[in-house]
Amino acid sequence: MSETSAQPAHVHAPPEGFWRKYVFSLDHKVIGKQYYALALVAVFTGMFLSWLMRIHLVWPAAKIPGLELMSKAGAPGGIMTPEYYLSLLTMHGTLMVFFVLTNAPFAAFGNYFLPIQVGAEDMAFPRFNMMSFWLTFLAWVVLMLAFVIPDGPPIAGWTEYTPLSAIGKDAGPGMQWGASLWGISIAIFCAASLLGALNFIATTLDLRTKGMTLMRMPLCTWAWFITSCIALLAFAVLLPACILLILDRHAGTSFFIPGGLVASDRLQPHSGGSPLLWQHLFWFFGHPEVYIAILPSMGIVSHILTNSMRKPLLSAKVVIYSMMSIGFLSYMVWGHHMFLSGMNPMSALAFSFPTLTITIPATILTLIWLGSLYGANIQINSASLFALGFISMFVSGGVSGFFLAQPSIDIYLHATYFVVGHFHMVMGVASLFGVFTGTYFWFPKMTGRYMNEGLGKLHFWITFIGTYCIFMPFHYLGLVGNIRRYQSFVDDFMAPYIPLHKFITIAALITGAAQFIFLYNLIYSRFWGKPAPENPWNATSLEWSIPSPPPWNNFGDKHPVVYHDPYQYGVKGSGGDFVMQDSPEPVTGNGD
Amino acid sequence: MASTTAPAVVPQSGAERASRSGIWVGIFAITMSFMAFSSALFVRQGSLDWGHLVLPSILYLNTLVLLASSGTFELSRRHLEFHTAGRVGNSGSGVAWLLATLALGIAFCAGQFAAWQNLRAQGFYLATNPNSSFFYVLTFIHVLHVTAGILAFVYLLGRLTMGNGLVRRSFFDNTAIYWHFMGVLWLYLLLLCRIKL
Amino acid sequence: MGKLLGVVLVIIALVSAYPILKNQYPLPEDISTHGHLIDEQLHDTMVEAGISFIGAQLVLAFFVWSFTGRKPGSPLKNLPGGARALVIVAFVIVGMEVLALGAFGQKAWASVYFTPAKADSLQIQAQAEQFAFYFRYAGPDGKFGMIHPEKIDEGNQNYFGLDPENDVAARDDIVSGELVIPVNREIHLMLHGKDVGHSFFVRELRIQQDFVPGLDLSVHFTATKTGKYEIVCTQLCGLGHYNMKAYLNVMSQADYDNWFKQQSAQ
C-alpha cells in the first residue's frame, strides 16, 4: 500500500458554530482532547475510589466524611460496608482499564497525533470518529449511573466472573441493576472502540502523505496502528460476551450459568451453561487489552526518548517488529489468567509457553531503550524524566510477570497481592507514565504554551518515588500470602503486615495528592503558560512542522512531502543537530 | 465523461482507498464477533441439555431471497452509469434493480421474523434451550447487520433519484462488498445451525 | 537532575531488593509433599528476576548518570554491537533462561495435576458456598449420597442437600465445617461449587484450585505435618468473600480415626 500523491477535496468543511467546533466536532484534534478530558475525569474518579479503598483497608471502622452522601446503604454513618468496598473495587478497575488506559494513551493521543504524523488532514472517517467519542462518553455515563441507583455498583470485580455476575440479585448487592449497567456500558464501549480502531487502521494504511512510507512513520504511530489492530479483534470478542451476559441476566438464557445452583436459598432457574466460557471470552479480550494499554505508551516513550537523547534508537525497525510480535503473541496467552480455573491442566502449559516467550520482545525493547541511552546526550525535562521513569517501571512490572507466567508458581501466587502489584506497575504506573510523558511533550503543540517545568519535575519526583512506595511492597505481601479483593484482613498471620499496609495507604494518599499538581499545571498552563514556539523540542516529526495549536486542517492547504525518517538526530541540520522529516535537505552520513 | 462500463475497481484517491480499507476492516471485526459467538456455541454444545431444534423451512427460502438480492445488486451495477470522477449515476434500469435488491433485503428480514414466529409457535423461545438461544441470538444479530445494509440501500436510492442523481463510486462498491458479505455470513450461520443445532 | 535520577534509581533498586535478600517476607512453612518443588521453582525464579531487575535498574541508573548534563559538543556514541547484539542477547540468554524456567517449572505443576489421585487416597468432598466451606466424608459405608440442590436447607444444616430418608448412602455421610485429615495420607479433595465461583487455598499446603459450578474438579495432596492451617477463599464470591474461611486440621492417624468414629456415631 503506497502513499497517495494527492488528497482530493477536504475530508470535512472547516467547523462553524459552537456545537460543531467544540462539541460534536469532526476534527480529530478536538476528539483527541475530548478523549483526554474524559480520561482525566475517569482517572481522578478512579484514584479517589482507590483512596477510599486504601483508607478502609487499614482503618476499617473509620467514619469517612462524605461517604454516606455517596451511598447511604454502602456507608451508613460513613463506615464502609464490605459490599461497598467491592463496589468501589469493581468501579475502580473498570474505570481505570477501560476509560483511562484505553482512552488516554491510545484514543486521546492517537486521535490527536496519528493523522498529523502521517501527514493527513484528518482521520479517514471523521463522522465515525465523532461517534466513537460520544459513544465512549455514553458508555461512561451508563457506568457512572451505577453509583446513583439504590442497589449500587456491581461487586464482582472488573472481570465480572460468572455465575456471580450472571444470576442477578441473588448473588448479592449491586448485582441486579448495577451489573446490568456494567454490561451495557462495556458493550457500548466495545462498539465505540471498534469504530475508533477502524479509523486508526484506515488512516494509517491509506492517508499517508507523499514520501511517508510505513517505515518512516514515527514509533508512536506504529504503536497506535498495532494497538488498533489488536483492539479490533479484542473488542469484537468482548461485545458478544457482554451481549450473552446481559441475556443470561435478563432473558433467562444459560450461556454461562450451570444448573443446580442455590444462591440466597433459591434454586437458580438456569442450566447447562459454562462459567469457564465467560472466562475464555473475557480473557481472550482481556489479555490483548492490557497490551492495548501498554503499547501506545511504549511508542510514545520511544518517540520522545529519541528526541530527548538527541540520537536515534539503536534500531527503530527492531522496535517495530518487537511491538508487532507482542501484539501477535498477546492473542495466544489468555489462558494464563485461568491456570487454576479448572480448564485442562495441559492447556496451562500450552499457555505458559507463549507467555514466557513474550518476555523476548519485551526484553528486546527494554534493551534497545537502555542500550540507546549509551553515548546519548540526554536532555532532562519533565517529559524525558517520565520517559526514563517508564523504563524503570516497565522493568519492575515486567519481572514479576516471570513468576506469574509459570503455572507451578501461580498455584501459590494466584489471587495474592503479587498479582495486584504486577498489573499495577505495568498498567497503573508504566502505562500512565507514557501518558504523562506525552502530555508534557505535546502540550506546547496542542496549546501553544509550555507546561510549568518546575511543577512538572515536582510531579515526577513525588509520583516516581510514591508509586514505588505503593506498589513494590505489594509483591512482598503477595509472597506471604496476602489475598486480594479482601475488604479487610481478618487472618492472624496478617497482623504483622498491617503497618506495611498503612505505609502503602499513606504513600497512596501523598502520591494521589501530587496528581493535583499535574492537574493544576495542565489548567494553569493552558491559559497562562509560557508561550512556546512551533518546535520547542527541536523535534523531527511532522507535528512539529505546523503551528501550535494546529489549524483545523493540520497542514493548511499544503500537503507535506516527507524525505526522511523521524530519527534524524545527531546530524548536521539547518536548524541544529536534527533534520525534520519534511525538510528536503539531504542528511550526510545517515541512510534513511 | 460518462461510460456504461465500470472502470477499474481499484479506488484511486486516499479517501476512496481508506473507505475500501474501512469496509474490509469492518467485515473483519464482524467476522471476529461471529467467531466469538460460534466458539460460545461449540463450548455450550458440550453440555447435557443440548436438545435438538428443527430449523423452520422458511429459512431456506430466505437464503434464496438473500442470495438473489446479491444478484440483483450486481445486475444494477451493469445498468448504472460510472463516471470517471468516481461517481455513479442512474441510467436505464439501474435504480429498478436496486429497488429490487432493497425489496429482497426487506423480504429476507421479514422472512427471518416469520422463522422466529414459527419457532415460537412450536414453543421454542429465547431461553427454552441452548439451541434456541443460539438460533435467536445468531439470526437476530445477523438481521441487525442486514438492516444496516438496507439503510445503505435507502441512502443509495435517495442519492440516485434526487439532487444531482450522483453517488460516490466508493460508497456503491463498499455497499456491494458489505451486502455480499451478509450473504456469505448467512450461509455460514445456516450451515452452523444445521450442523450444530 | 539526571544525576539525581541515577542515584534515586540505585536507591530504589537496592531498597526494593533488600527485603527479598534478607528474606523478610518468607513463604509460610511447607507442609506438603509437592510444595518443595514450587518453593524451589519460586526461589530460582526470584534469583533470575532479581538479577534482571537489579541489573536493568543499575544499568539505567549508570547510563542516566553518565549521559545527562553532558558538555555541549560531546560526541554521540553507539553501543558496541548495536541492536543486533541486544537482539541476540534477548533471544539467546533471556529466551533460554525463561524457557528453561518454564520447562523445569512444569515438574511442580505435573506433580499436582498430571498424576491422578492414588487408588487408596481418602476421598473428601468440599463444597464452597456464599460464604463458607463444608466438607463431606463418605462415612463407614464408603459411599457418598446424592446431592439434591432443591433439598438444600441452611437452616437445618443440610448444606449438601442430602436425602437420608430415601438415599441409603447418604445416611452415614459426615458433614463438617472443618477439613480434618490424617497426616501423611493422600487426600483426594473433590470440589463442588454451590452457587458462584469460589477457590480453595491453603498456603502451607501449596494448593490452590477454583471451584467452578457445574464442573467436577478435584485436587489431591498429602500433608506432612499436623496442625491447624487456614483455608481461604481466593475467588471473589460476594460481600462475604474476605471472611470466607475454614480450617484444615491435620491430625495423626490415631487422632483422625477417633474423630471419624465420633462423627460417625452422631
The range of the structural domain enclosing residue C66 comes to 2-70+78-113
Query: Between the CA of residue A583 and those of A539, A545, C169, what are the distances in Å?
Result: 12, 9, 87
Beta bridge partners of C210: C199
Q: CA B14, CA B25: separation in Å to the nearest integer? A: 16
* Cβ atoms of A64 and A78 closer than 8 Å: yes
Q: CA B157, CA B155: separation in Å to the nearest integer? A: 5
CA distance C186 to chain A (A): 19
Please tell me which chains touch A, using 3 or more CB pairs under 8 Å as the contact test.
B, C
Q: What is the CATH number of the domain that holds C199?
A: 2.60.40.420
Q: In which band, very low, low, confident or very high, does the pLDDT at A591 lie, cut at 50, 70 and 90?
A: very low
Contact A206 B14 (CB under 8 A): yes
Residues in C 24-83 with any Cβ partner in A closer than 8 A = 24-28, 37-38, 41-42, 45-46, 48-49, 52-53, 56-57, 59-60, 63-64, 67-70, 74-79, 82-83
* Cβ atoms of C145 and C211 closer than 8 Å: no
Contact A233 B126 (CB under 8 A): no
For the stretch A182-215, pLDDT in tens is 999 999 999 999 999 999 999 999 999 999 999 9
The percent of residues above 70 in pLDDT, for chain C, comes to 100
CA distance A184 to chain B (A): 16
Q: Is residue B40 within 8 angstroms of chain A, CB to CB?
A: yes
Give the nearest partner residue to A271 out of B28, B39, B49, using CB atoms.
Answer: B49
Q: Which of A232, A152, A141 is nearest to A185 (CA)?
A: A141
Q: CA C216, CA C191: separation in Å to the nearest integer? A: 7
Length of chain C: 266
Say how many C-beta atoms besides its own lie within 10 A of residue A590's C-beta: 15
- Using the 8-state DSSP alphabet, how is residue A315 labeled? -
More confident residue, C97 or A343: A343
Question: Which amino acid appears at position C230 of this protein?
Answer: E
Beta bridge partners of C251: C182
Say how many C-beta atoms besides its own lie within 10 A of residue C147's C-beta: 20
For the stretch A502-541, pLDDT in tens is 999 999 999 999 999 999 999 999 999 999 999 999 999 9
- Is A253 in a helix, a strand, or coil? coil
- Is A568 in a helix, a strand, or coil? coil
Residues C227, C203 within the same domain: yes
Contact C38 A490 (CB under 8 A): no
B-chain CB neighbours of A207 within 8 Å are 14-15, 18
* Mean pLDDT, rounded, for A357-365: 94
* Cβ atoms of A27 and A126 closer than 8 Å: yes
Residues C83, C137 within the same domain: no
State residue B61's pLDDT score: 96
Contact A392 C9 (CB under 8 A): yes
Sign of CA dihedral C60, C62, C65, C66: negative
A-chain CB neighbours of C106 within 8 Å are 349, 352, 407-408
Helices A126-148 + A82-94 axis angle, to 10:
170
* Cβ atoms of B113 and B146 closer than 8 Å: no
Residues C98, C25 within the same domain: yes
B-chain CB neighbours of A192 within 8 Å are none
Q: In which band, very low, low, confident or very high, does the pLDDT at A22 lie, cut at 50, 70 and 90?
A: confident
Nearest CA in chain A to B37: A240
* Cβ atoms of A404 and A333 closer than 8 Å: no
Q: In which band, very low, low, confident or very high, does the pLDDT at B10 lie, cut at 50, 70 and 90?
A: low
Q: Is residue B29 within 8 angstroms of chain A, CB to CB?
A: yes
For the stretch A297-309, pLDDT in tens is 999 999 999 999 9
Give the nearest partner residue to A377 out of C59, C67, C214, using CB atoms.
Answer: C67
Residues C40, C168 within the same domain: no
Query: Between the CA of residue A204 and those of A306, B158, C119, C264, what are the distances in Å?
Result: 22, 32, 62, 73
Residue A225 pLDDT exceeds 90: yes
Residues C149, C46 within the same domain: no
For the stretch B77-125, pLDDT in tens is 888 888 777 788 877 788 899 999 999 999 999 999 999 999 999 999 9
Give the nearest partner residue to B18 out of A202, A259, A276, using CB atoms.
Answer: A202
Residues C87, C139 within the same domain: no
Residues C44, C149 within the same domain: no
Give the nearest partner residue to A371 out of C20, C79, C129, using CB atoms.
Answer: C79
* Cβ atoms of A402 and C98 closer than 8 Å: yes
Question: Which amino acid appears at position B169 of this protein?
Answer: R
Chain A residues with CB under 8 Å of a chain B CB are: 1, 4, 6-8, 11, 120, 124-125, 194, 197-198, 201-203, 205-207, 232-233, 235-237, 239-241, 243-244, 247, 251-255, 258-259, 271-274, 276-277, 280-281, 284
Q: Is residue C92 within 8 angstroms of chain A, CB to CB?
A: no
Give the helix/strand (H/E) hosting C180: strand C178-182
Residue A8 pLDDT exceeds 50: no
Q: Which of C24, C21, C32, C6 is nearest to C186 (CA)?
A: C32
Contact A201 B25 (CB under 8 A): yes
Chain-centre distance for alpha carbon A192:
15
Contact C87 A402 (CB under 8 A): no
* Cβ atoms of A366 and C56 closer than 8 Å: yes
B-chain CB neighbours of A251 within 8 Å are 126-127
Q: CA A373, CA C79: separation in Å to the nearest integer? A: 8
Residues C130, C226 within the same domain: yes
Say how many C-beta atoms besides its own lie within 10 A of residue C18's C-beta: 10
- Is C32 in a helix, a strand, or coil? strand
- Is C171 in a helix, a strand, or coil? coil
Residues of chain A with CATH 1.20.210.10: 25-257
* Cβ atoms of A402 and A359 closer than 8 Å: yes
Residues C47, C13 within the same domain: yes
Q: Which of A487, A420, A421 is nearest to A59 (CA)?
A: A487
- Is C217 in a helix, a strand, or coil? strand
Give the helix/strand (H/E) hosting A238: helix A219-250
Phi and psi at residue C186, in whole multiples of 5°?
Answer: -70, 135
Q: How many CB pairs under 8 A join A and C?
A: 304
Q: Is residue C209 within 8 angstroms of chain A, CB to CB?
A: yes
* Cβ atoms of A180 and A156 closer than 8 Å: no
Please tell me the least confidently modeled range out of A7-11, A133-137, B111-115, C30-34.
A7-11
Residues C21, C90 within the same domain: yes
A-chain CB neighbours of C114 within 8 Å are 345
Say how many C-beta atoms besides its own lie within 10 A of residue A358's C-beta: 23
CA distance B190 to chain A (A): 19
C-alpha cell at A60: 476499617
Give the helix/strand (H/E) hosting A571: strand A569-573
Helices B14-44 + A177-206 axis angle, to 10:
140
C-chain CB neighbours of A367 within 8 Å are 86, 89-90
Contact C242 A493 (CB under 8 A): no
- Using the 8-state DSSP alphabet, how is residue A550 labeled? P
Query: Between the CA of residue C91 and those of A280, A332, A455, B109, C97, what are the distances in Å?
Result: 30, 19, 41, 55, 10
Q: Is C199 exposed, middle or buried (0-12, 13-18, 19+ CB in 10 A)?
A: buried
For the stretch A82-122, pLDDT in tens is 999 999 999 999 999 999 999 999 999 999 999 999 999 99
* Cβ atoms of B33 and A237 closer than 8 Å: yes
Residue A220 pLDDT exceeds 90: yes
Helices A109-117 + A432-447 axis angle, to 10:
60
Residues C20, C42 within the same domain: yes
Q: CA C64, CA A372: separation in Å to the nearest integer? A: 11
Contact A408 C19 (CB under 8 A): no
C-alpha cell at A49: 475510589
Q: What's the total number of domains in chain C?
A: 2
Nearest CA in chain A to C93: A360
* Cβ atoms of A111 and A296 closer than 8 Å: no
| Of the options 3.20.20.140, 3.40.50.2300, 1.20.210.10, 3.40.50.1110, the CATH number for the domain spanning A25-257 | 1.20.210.10
Q: CA A344, CA C25: separation in Å to the nearest integer? A: 32
Q: Is residue C215 within 8 angstroms of chain A, CB to CB?
A: yes
* Mean pLDDT, rounded, for B34-38: 96
For C184-215, the DSSP string reads: TSEEEEEEEESSS-EEEEETTTTEEEEE-TT-
* Cβ atoms of A318 and C87 closer than 8 Å: yes
Q: Is residue C104 within 8 angstroms of chain A, CB to CB?
A: no
Q: Tell me the pTM.
A: 0.95
Q: Which of A13, A337, A385 is nearest to A159 (CA)?
A: A337
Question: Which amino acid appears at position A483 of this protein?
Answer: I
A-chain CB neighbours of B18 within 8 Å are 124-125, 202-203, 205-207
State residue A2's pLDDT score: 42
Beta bridge partners of C218: C190
CA distance B19 to chain A (A): 7
Residues C96, C208 within the same domain: no
CA distance C195 to chain A (A): 5
Average pLDDT, consecutive stretches of 10 residues, N- to C-terminus, chain C (266 residues): 96 96 94 94 93 96 95 89 93 83 83 90 95 93 90 90 90 93 96 95 96 94 96 96 96 95 87
- Measure CA of the first residue to CA of the last residue in chain A; give whole Å: 19
Beta bridge partners of C199: C210
Contact A241 B36 (CB under 8 A): yes
For the stretch A242-287, pLDDT in tens is 999 999 999 999 999 998 999 998 999 998 899 999 999 999 999 9
Helices B58-79 + B94-121 axis angle, to 10:
170
